[in-house]
């Protein structure tokens, strides 16, 4: 149980808040690369409580600027994309991808007024078919090369889920809550078996659960009664690595998030996929009707794992009231996550990097235990050395 003050500390993501300053030390996907084109050169982005505009100028440079023009606040979403940047549609003030004002056309000839103008701007990178943004202090860290995103002995798919209407922490606490799998998702966990007790679901399949910290977050370990082991991480602060993919939870503000999912499908013959082969874009299904409405004024679907999870997160409220909860023994991972958040908020306030921030450009691919999950999903776990080598 948390006090109201402790709950606010861990859930407020806006500029200047302790948790918001922590979250700004990481990169976030903000759009698919296909979302910005010559026909649609700008895209509105909301991230960590800030309103922004993503664009690609006619020289091919991607930029992310504050939505409201520094002149009189008109939206740059409607700006004209040019060779050197984006010009506000209202008075033509031209900004490059760094937020530098290059022209203020209506000012007198020879005026240097534009040199005094700066638009808030953030760096943008592309990886795995996604645009990523960093909103923190400079120098920006490296964009982590998680194995799911960059391995070439297979192919990737990418999906943007529907907007989820709750605080990011409800999604992340679910990622270290293994007890819900055999109950909330019992129809999927059944794997063809009849559900004889809907209260217990398939809880008795699990012999034990455990958690331990890693360099990048928390590893969740579930040992089944038949001896098989499911072990996959929460990558701090906003990623669940499960199965053959990762779910990246992008906090839009205190009460909304996008979920981007990238999956890795291995090539059985070991053939490498060309570096320029983009991921397949997978369409997402709505998880409630009507979308955009909140409980109890919407009907959540319960016919899929993702929709079931979103029901559990959203019906806790836009920001869960943790002052009234009753924690149990299976909530050890949730407690560990909250402790990790507090510790890293403190690290940032001391001027240190939080965990998982990469400064070394030569770091290369980051192992997230993907091979273990691929073997388990293929039904090969426990695997022999020969079986493991195939992956």
CA-CA-CA-CA dihedral for 272, 274, 280, 281, to nearest 10: 130
Residue given tokens 């998880």 in the structure block: 287
Residues 222-256 have pLDDT tens digits of 999 999 898 999 999 999 999 999 999 999 999 99
Q: Could you read off the pLDDT of 25-84 as tens digits, one per residue? A: 999 999 999 999 999 999 999 999 999 999 999 999 999 999 999 999 999 999 999 999
Q: Which two tokens stand for residue 87?
A: 């010009």
Q: How confident is the model at residue 378 (pLDDT cuts 50, 70, 90)?
A: low
User: pTM of the full predicted structure?
Assistant: 0.93
* Within a domain: 118: yes
CA atoms of 3 and 322, how far apart (whole Å)? 7
Domain boundary among 79, 108, 134: 134
* Residues contacting residue 339 through CB under 8 Å, at least 6 positions apart: none
Expressed as residue numbers, the domain containing 282 is 145-389
271 cis-preceded (ω within 30 degrees of 0): no
Tell me if 15 is assigned to some domain. no
State the DSSP H helix or E strand holding residue 171, giving kind and residue range, or none if neither: helix 168-174
CATH number of the domain residue 373 falls in = 3.90.380
pLDDT at 344: 98
pLDDT, tens digit (0-9, with 9 covering 90-100), for 303-342:
999 999 999 999 999 999 999 999 999 999 999 999 999 9
Distance CA 32, CA 50 (A): 19
User: 121 has which bridge partners?
Assistant: 65
Residues 119, 149, single domain; the answer is no
Q: How far apart are the first and last CA of the chain?
A: 43
Residue 241 lies in a domain: yes
- Are 288 and 307 in contact by the 8 Å Cβ rule? The answer is yes
State whether residue 117 is helix, strand or coil. coil
Is residue 18 domain-resident? no
> According to the model, what pLDDT value does residue 387 have?
38
Which among 101, 134, 167 is the end of a domain?
A: 134
Across the chain, what does the average pLDDT equal? 93
Is it the case that residue 293 has pLDDT exceeding 70? yes
Running DSSP on this structure, what letter comes out for residue 69? -
Looking at residue 363, the DSSP 8-state letter turns out to be -
Would residue 64 count as lying in a domain? Answer: yes
Q: Which pLDDT score, from 0 to 100, does residue 270 have?
A: 79
> Are residues 151 and 95 part of one domain?
no
pLDDT digits 0-9 by tens, 103-130: 999 999 999 999 999 999 999 999 999 9
β pairing state of 280-281 and 154-160: parallel
pLDDT > 90: percent of the chain: 86
């Amino acid at each position: 149980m948390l006090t109201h003050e402790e709950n606010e500390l861990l859930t407020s993501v806006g500029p200047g808040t302790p948790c918001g300053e922590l979250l700004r030390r990481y990169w976030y996907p903000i759009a698919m690369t296909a979302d910005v084109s010559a026909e649609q050169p700008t895209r509105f982005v909301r991230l960590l409580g800030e309103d922004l505009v993503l664009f690609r100028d006619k020289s091919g440079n991607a930029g992310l600027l504050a939505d409201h023009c520094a002149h009189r606040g008109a939206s740059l979403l409607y700006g004209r994309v040019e060779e050197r940047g984006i010009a506000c549609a209202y008075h033509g003030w031209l900004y490059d991808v760094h937020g530098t004002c290059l022209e203020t056309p209506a000012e007198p000839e020879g005026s240097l007024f534009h040199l005094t103008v700066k638009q808030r701007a953030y760096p943008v990178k592309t990886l795995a078919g996604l645009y990523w943004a960093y909103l923190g202090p400079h120098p920006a860290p490296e964009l982590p090369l998680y194995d799911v995103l960059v391995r070439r002995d297979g192919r990737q798919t990418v999906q943007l889920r529907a907007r989820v209407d709750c605080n990011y922490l409800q999604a992340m606490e679910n990622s270290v809550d293994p007890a819900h799998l055999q109950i909330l998702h019992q129809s999927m966990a059944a794997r063809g078996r009849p559900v004889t007790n809907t209260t217990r679901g398939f809880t008795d399949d699990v012999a034990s659960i455990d958690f331990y910290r890693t360099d990048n977050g928390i590893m969740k370990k579930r040992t089944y009664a038949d001896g098989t082991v499911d072990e996959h991480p929460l990558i701090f602060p906003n990623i669940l690595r499960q199965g053959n993919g990762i779910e990246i939870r992008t906090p839009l503000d205190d009460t909304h998030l996008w979920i981007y999912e990238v999956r890795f499908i291995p090539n059985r013959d070991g053939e490498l996929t060309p570096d320029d082969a983009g991921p397949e874009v997978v369409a997402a299904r709505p998880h409630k009707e009507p979308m955009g409405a909140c409980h109890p004024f919407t009907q959540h679907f319960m016919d899929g794992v993702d929709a079931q999870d979103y029901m559990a997160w959203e019906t806790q409220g836009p920001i869960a009231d943790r002052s009234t909860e009753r924690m149990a023994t299976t909530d050890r991972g949730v407690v560990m996550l909250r402790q990790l958040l507090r510790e890293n908020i403190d690290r940032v306030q001391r001027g240190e990097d939080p965990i998982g921030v990469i400064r070394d450009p030569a770091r290369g691919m980051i192992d997230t235990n993907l091979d273990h999950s691929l073997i388990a999903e293929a039904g090969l776990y426990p695997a022999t050395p020969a079986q493991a080598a195939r992956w």
